[in-house]
Homo-oligomer: A and B are copies of this chain.
Amino acid sequence: MLTRVDHIGIACTDLNQAIQFHRNAYGFEVCYREINDEQGVDEAMLRINGTDDGHATYLQLLSPTRPNSPVGKFLASRGEGVHHIAFGTPDVDAAAAAFLDRGMRVLFTPPRPAAMGSRATFLHPSECGGVLVELVTHT
């Protein structure tokens, strides 16, 4: 059902500075940028490697466009660092339904539009060992 690590979401205060650091230190390049007004986030995707399900693994750099956004609140309470991890699935609707069937909390039903034209939902960290888990399908 979950066929890859799709991305690691990293919260940062200054997106351009974070992009520059990841380029200079690691050689990772931005392949996609987007502002998601609904989530209050300015984001950049950096492709790291291809995966054997025909997709890829990315770093997703996230900076808030407003302090009261989810990423803004995360930065205020935890500081910069890993915000969430995302698993790729061929069918995020079926995956969300399966987790609901197991009695787990699924944050967005139905899944919402996310980075690079994908659709995604989240599992709550209190039920996932302290990890905010995203489930994502690229269309």
Contact = CB atoms under 8 A, between A and B. Distances in A.
B25 A99 contact: yes
Contacts of A52: 49-52
Nearest to A50: B52
Q: In which size bucket is the chain A interface? A: 35 or more
B57 A4 contact: yes
Interface string A45-88: 00011111100010000000000000000000001111001010
25 contacts: A1-B26, A4-B48, A4-B57, A8-B8, A10-B130, A12-B130, A18-B129, A21-B129, A24-B102, A25-B99, A26-B87, A48-B87, A49-B51, A49-B52, A50-B51, A51-B51, A51-B57, A52-B52, A57-B57, A80-B129, A81-B82, A81-B129, A81-B130, A82-B85, A82-B131
Contacts of A51: 49-52, 57
A117 interface: no
Nearest to A132: B81
A87 to B, nearest CB: 7
